[in-house]
């Protein structure tokens, strides 16, 4: 939440006179949504905050890194800027706007500014309303793919960004660039996490 909006929503600009301490405490409340620390290539600051907070809610930091730790939001921004044709960019942007509008309608705030339980409610609903990807064979999905909706597409994008990051690929998932041999049947415990490549 930026400062101007915070003030506006509190009615400050409408002329109500508030004592300084109250104003300060109002601004304190916005502290958990800090300003973006990076410069997006494609997203507006608000969009970048939505992308980051959504990726973080799906893949938060635990005892392993979260999506933001591996800069999944920066990768998604780069992808939108450099790999999406104009039509795809427009669609993504309008999907983000619709998602944000739905949050506003249901919870009265942007997703990034929702508390934990409201975020959970939004994502639980999105999960229920989203379709799933058809399984695929050698790079092509099989059968007729029905639209999966923004949430599932975004989740897939976030997981891709997360898994294909250097930190996850080399240090969290099991990394073996030159296996040297194929062993078709080994205990999972020998490997641990999924292979990164």
Partner 1 sequence: MAHYNIDAKKQMTYDAIVIGSGISGGWAAKELCEQGLKTLVLERGPLVEHVVDYPTMNLDPWDLELREALTPEEQQKHYKAIRSGFIGKSSEHFFANDLENPYTEVKPFLWIRGHQMGGRSLLWGKQTYRWSDLDFEANARDGHGVDWPIRYKDIEPWYTYVEKFAGISGEALGLPQLPDSHFLPPMELNCVEKMVKGRIESAYPGRHLIIGRVAHLTQPLNGRGPCQYRNRCSRGCPYGAYFSSNAVTLPAASATGNLTIRPWSIAQSIVYDDAQGRATGVRIIDAETGEWLEYQAKIIFCNASALSTTQILLNSTSDRFPAGLGNDSGELGHNLMDHTYRIGALGTVEGFEDQYYSGRRPNGIYIPRYVNIDEASRSDSFVRGFGFQGGGSRGGSQAAANEPGFGGEYKDHILKPGPWEFFITGFAECLPYHENQVTLDTENRDKWGQPTLAIDCEYKENEKALNRQIRQDAVEMLDRAGLKDIVGFDNQHEPGYGIHEMGTARMGRDPKTSVLNGTNQVHGAKNVFVTDGACMTSSSCVNPSLTYMALTARAAQHAVSELKKFNL
The residue range among 16-24, 97-105, 107-115, 183-191 that interacts with partner 1, by the rule CB under 8 A, is: 183-191
Q: In angstroms, what is the minimal distance from the CB of 108 to partner 1?
A: 22
Compare residues 24 and 41 and give the one whose CB is closer to partner 1: 41
191 binds partner 1 (CB under 8 A): yes
Per-residue binder mask for partner 1 (CB under 8 A), 85-124, x = binder:
xx---------------------------------x--x-
The residue range among 15-23, 29-37, 44-52, 72-80 that interacts with partner 1, by the rule CB under 8 A, is: 72-80
* Residue in the block written with tokens 């706007």: 97
Distance (Å, whole) CA 83 – CA 81? 6
When binding is defined by CB under 8 A, the residue of 62, 105, 117, 147 that contacts partner 1 is 62
Identify the H or E element spanning 12.
none
The residue among 51, 111, 57, 110 whose CA lies nearest residue 79 is 51
* Inter-residue contact 172 to 82 (CB < 8 Å): no
Neighbours of 120 (CB within 10 A): 12
> DSSP secondary-structure letter at 68?
T
Q: Which of residues 30-49 bind partner 1 (CB under 8 A)?
A: none
Q: In angstroms, what is the minimal distance from the CB of 33 to partner 1?
A: 19
> In degrees, to the nearest 5, what angle opens at C-alpha 45 toward C-alphas 44 and 47?
65
Identify the H or E element spanning 136.
strand 136-137
When binding is defined by CB under 8 A, the residue of 40, 60, 115, 150 that contacts partner 1 is 60
Instruction: Report residue 160: phi and psi, to 5°.
Output: -60, -50
Query: Which residues bind to partner 1, rule: CB under 8 A?
Result: 57-62, 64, 66, 75, 78-79, 82-86, 120, 123, 127, 132-140, 142-143, 152, 155-156, 159-160, 163-166, 169-170, 172-173, 176-191, 193-195, 197
């Amino acid at each position: 939440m930026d400062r101007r909006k915070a003030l506006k929503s509190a009615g400050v600009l409408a002329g109500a006179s508030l004592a300084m301490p109250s104003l300060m405490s109002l601004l304190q409340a916005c502290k958990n949504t800090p300003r973006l620390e990076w410069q997006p290539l494609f997203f507006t600051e608000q969009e970048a905050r939505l992308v980051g907070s959504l990726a973080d809610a799906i893949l938060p930091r635990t005892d392993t890194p979260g999506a933001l730790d591996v800069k999944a939001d920066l990768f998604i921004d780069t992808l939108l800027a450099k790999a999406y044709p104009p039509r795809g960019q427009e669609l993504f942007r309008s999907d983000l706007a619709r998602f944000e509008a739905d949050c506003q309608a249901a919870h009265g705030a942007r997703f990034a500014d929702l508390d934990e339980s409201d975020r959970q409610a939004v994502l639980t609903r999105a999960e229920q309303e989203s379709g799933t990807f058809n399984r695929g064979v050698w790079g092509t999905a099989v059968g007729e793919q029905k639209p999966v909706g923004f949430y599932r597409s975004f989740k897939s994008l976030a997981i891709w960004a997360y898994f294909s990051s250097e930190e996850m690929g080399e240090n969290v998932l099991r990394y073996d660039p030159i296996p040297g041999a194929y062993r078709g049947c080994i205990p999972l415990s020998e490997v641990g996490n999924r292979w990164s490549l």
